[in-house]
Structure 1
Amino acid sequence: MTKRAANGMGTIVQRKDGRYHAAVYVLAVDGTRERKYVYGKTWEEANEKRIELLDNNRKGLPSISSSMKLSDYLDYWLDNVVQVERGPSTYSGYEVVIRRFIKPKLGSKKLNALTPADVRKFLAQLRKAKTVHGKDLSARYVQNIFEVLRGALNNAVREELIGRNVTTLVKAPSRDHFEVRPMSETDARRFLRYVATHWLYALWLVLITTGLRKGEVLGLAWSDINLMTGEVRVRRTVQRVRGRLIFGQPKTKRSRREVYLPEVCLVALRAHRTSTAERMSVHQNPAPGQPDDLVFITRTGRVIEPRNVNTMLDRVLKNAKIDRNRVHDLRHTCATLLLLDGATIREVMELLGHASISTTADIYGHVLDEAKRRLAQQMNRLAEN
């Protein structure tokens, strides 16, 4: 059975196997026009896919196909999937990985012709590759490259461009154990005592007691915080990407979350709001795209530069005679102390906004072992009594 649509809109035909297919001329990635086929179990399903193709064509979106070069498909994936669904720093990181490592070795392959052998050879080449500074790529970075490729091909499977993801047939590269450097409880207390008079005391307190990422804290607006209940909605992040300050959404769906502040943070934030109003300059210079009511700003009303937070922390730790830590280690400190105090791995996962519980377990596995030992000691005391 054949049903014809209007001229140029494609034709839907029933195949011998009972399925339907439609053929439409659309814009290809290289700018030419090509004939594209879509399939459906019913006429309606095939027609729906045909309409979607035509709609994308009218919007100037190129058609993708299983026979396109992997390099062209990766460009499509970056611009139409990653850029839409992930944060700007994730997009930037993926773009670098694809441009520097994946395209030079695999970009000329056709999407549907990529084999497990190609991927194994690619991984072997990565293990011999160097950074721009002439150093060997770390095992963790090699796995990150592999995961970018795997993610791109997973999307190709979802869009029915290929029948399987060949990276699933290849043993994933091993990665270095993720080493975290949290402060001890003693150093954490010492740190908080030292920064008690710092003009960003509230920022340091929020970082170490909630485990929020630096960009998430800098992106907080007063409208995100309920100073009565302590509820905080994490909906924004601030990052410097390729020289530009970017206000975007948190990196994953789980990162867009609600957390609760302890009372000590609420007291500090109320004081911070008062002191901020008192020191504001008449001349304001907010960053492009900056929300009106950011919590942590300079005297000129501009969002605090993320790199300056790193510099300030280095100075504070040096003066307080505490071992050097990164801002991100305050997040690790929060998670570690909570786990040692009896918090469950799921509770910590939800607080940190990790995409999966396995991520949390991978990072803090050694802490879990220590927590289990403490629990065993508690039960030992019970038996002794």
Structure 2
Amino acid sequence: MAGRAANGMGTITKRKDGRYQAAVYVLNTAGHRERKYVYGKTWDEANDKRVELLDNNRKGIPSISSNMALGDYLDYWVENIIKEDRAYSTYAGYETVIRRFIKPLLGHKKLNRLSPRDIRAFVAALRTRRTVHGAKLSDRYVQNVFEVLRSALTAAVKQDELIGRNVAMLVTTPSRGEHDVAPLDEDSARKFLRAIADHWLCALWLLLITTGLRKGEVLGLAWSDIDLDTGEIKVRRTVQRIRGQLRFGKPKTPRSRRTVYVGDVVKAALKRHRTLTAERMKGQPRPASDQPGDLVFVTSSGQVVEPRNVNTMLRRILKKAGLGHSRVHDLRHTAATLLLLDGATIREVMEQLGHSSIATTANIYGHVLDVAKRRMAERMDRRFSAD
């Protein structure tokens, strides 16, 4: 039924069109109070929305409206949704993209007045922008910026019900360009394995090149994540240096929180590593902030191995092996490539790598699939060839 709530709790009235209208003073994104109206087909529906607004006031969360500037909505979205629900590295990346590119180019536009033309002009403008080092934004980065904007507008449609459509969905996604995939070939992989045999992080390199785990996922492993009898490894956290600080956090996506298995060679290397780590420890451990107490890859002081030092160590190993330049991430590509060449399906590789979709895996490793198919054809040919 219609009626007036207690003072400060807002009012609900019935409109001439039969709907119910609730009016509440709320906090806006600037921290000021303003009157906000919500509507419902029934009194209860309007009241539920009124209660939600009051709950936001109680929590100090701003209530948002469809005619707010896109920049204000993006600030709300990244601080109240992304920061709460996603890994800190994702939040930091989104916040940077919004602050440096989306808000300067599009932030002044009203959320409910955005058009496909605005989005296309935005993408064109991005292609003229430069990084802090003066280089043009890569095709991949332009697409990443576009996808952040599209994700925010999707939330404005589906979660916050502020707008009726996502205009970014009406614009062709910018081309990502060619994927920069440079795996080691099989001969180079064997040379790499010989070069790491006596390295103090031999187990780390083996994990990278055999499982396809990301660098941060391997560095974030704890002994409680590993079953050395079965070879089961649970990926539960990642560690990265973000804005100058080492941070432990959730893996990149829900699919990144996964289980992989290793064979006897890696299990033996991990057992040796555990023994050597105990022998190398000096004095009282000085772990990094938020570091698990049973972290696998630590220095002699008990602190997580610095991610940037892994890059430096890889360059030395490659030089020792007589191999050309490769990134740590190329070891992940190497694992995926070798799995596909050995007959693994694209879905199996997707699950192993923790990609969010099979399309991502197929897009990156499509060329490897062609090689794998030719090998299968050759094997079948040999099977049925005459002696």
TM-score (norm 2): 0.95
Aligned to 1:187: 188
Structure-1 separation of matches of 2:339 and 2:9 = 60
Cα distance, 1:211 vs structure 2? 0.6
Matches within 5 A, 1:289-304: 289-304=290-305
Structure-2 separation of matches of 1:5 and 1:43 = 12
Structure-2 separation of matches of 1:69 and 1:27 = 15
Instruction: Point out where structure 1 has 5 or more consecutive residues left out of the alignment.
Output: none
Aligned to 2:217: 216
Q: Find the residue that maps to 2:227 and give its secondary structure.
A: coil
Matches within 5 A, 1:86-165: 86-158=86-158, 159-165=160-166
Aligned to 1:250: 251
> Relative to 1, partners in 2 of residues 1:384 and 1:106: Cα closer, same or farther, differing over 3 Å?
same
> Relative to 1, partners in 2 of residues 1:229 and 1:4: Cα closer, same or farther, differing over 3 Å?
farther
Cα distance, 1:121 vs structure 2? 1.3
- Is 1:325 equivalent to 2:326 in the alignment? yes
Question: Relative to structure 2, which stretch is displaced further, 24-33 or 347-356?
Answer: 24-33
Question: Relative to structure 2, which stretch is displaced further, 4-13 or 14-23?
Answer: 14-23
1:173-220, Cα deviation, whole Å (9 max, x unpaired): 222110201011111121112111111111111111111100001000
Contact 2:2–2:43 (8 Å) recurs in 1:
no
Opposite residue 74 of structure 2, the aligned amino acid is: L
> Relative to 1, partners in 2 of residues 1:336 and 1:14: Cα closer, same or farther, differing over 3 Å?
farther
1:252-305, Cα deviation, whole Å (9 max, x unpaired): 111111111212111111111111111111132111111111000000000000
- Corresponding residue pairs, total: 385
Aligned to 1:69: 69
Aligned to 2:12: 12
Q: Find the residue that maps to 2:224 and give its secondary structure.
A: helix
Cα distance, 1:15 vs structure 2? 4.7
> Relative to 1, partners in 2 of residues 1:201 and 1:157: Cα closer, same or farther, differing over 3 Å?
same
Q: Find the residue that maps to 1:196 and give its secondary structure.
A: coil
Opposite residue 84 of structure 2, the aligned amino acid is: V
* % identity of equivalent residues: 69
Instruction: Point out where structure 2 has 5 or more consecutive residues left out of the alignment.
Output: none
Structure-1 separation of matches of 2:44 and 2:385 = 72
TM-score (norm 1): 0.96
RMSD: 1.6
Cα distance, 1:229 vs structure 2? 1.5
> Relative to 1, partners in 2 of residues 1:258 and 1:49: Cα closer, same or farther, differing over 3 Å?
farther
Cα distance, 1:96 vs structure 2? 1.7
> Relative to 1, partners in 2 of residues 1:120 and 1:202: Cα closer, same or farther, differing over 3 Å?
same
Question: Relative to structure 2, which stretch is displaced further, 296-305 or 268-277?
Answer: 268-277
Structure-1 separation of matches of 2:172 and 2:250 = 33
Structure-2 separation of matches of 1:271 and 1:127 = 50
> Relative to 1, partners in 2 of residues 1:333 and 1:19: Cα closer, same or farther, differing over 3 Å?
farther
Opposite residue 279 of structure 1, the aligned amino acid is: R
> Relative to 1, partners in 2 of residues 1:46 and 1:380: Cα closer, same or farther, differing over 3 Å?
farther
Cα distance, 1:367 vs structure 2? 0.6
Question: Relative to structure 2, which stretch is displaced further, 80-89 or 375-384?
Answer: 375-384
Cα distance, 1:60 vs structure 2? 0.8
Question: Relative to structure 2, which stretch is displaced further, 261-270 or 205-214?
Answer: 261-270
Contact 2:5–2:11 (8 Å) recurs in 1:
yes
Q: Find the residue that maps to 1:182 and give its secondary structure.
A: coil
> Relative to 1, partners in 2 of residues 1:325 and 1:47: Cα closer, same or farther, differing over 3 Å?
same
Opposite residue 274 of structure 1, the aligned amino acid is: T
Contact 2:346–2:358 (8 Å) recurs in 1:
yes
Q: Find the residue that maps to 2:195 and give its secondary structure.
A: helix
Cα distance, 1:36 vs structure 2? 2.0
> Relative to 1, partners in 2 of residues 1:289 and 1:124: Cα closer, same or farther, differing over 3 Å?
same
Cα distance, 1:343 vs structure 2? 0.3
Cα distance, 1:23 vs structure 2? 2.0
Q: Find the residue that maps to 1:254 and give its secondary structure.
A: helix
Aligned to 2:47: 47
Aligned to 1:202: 203
Cα distance, 1:17 vs structure 2? 5.5
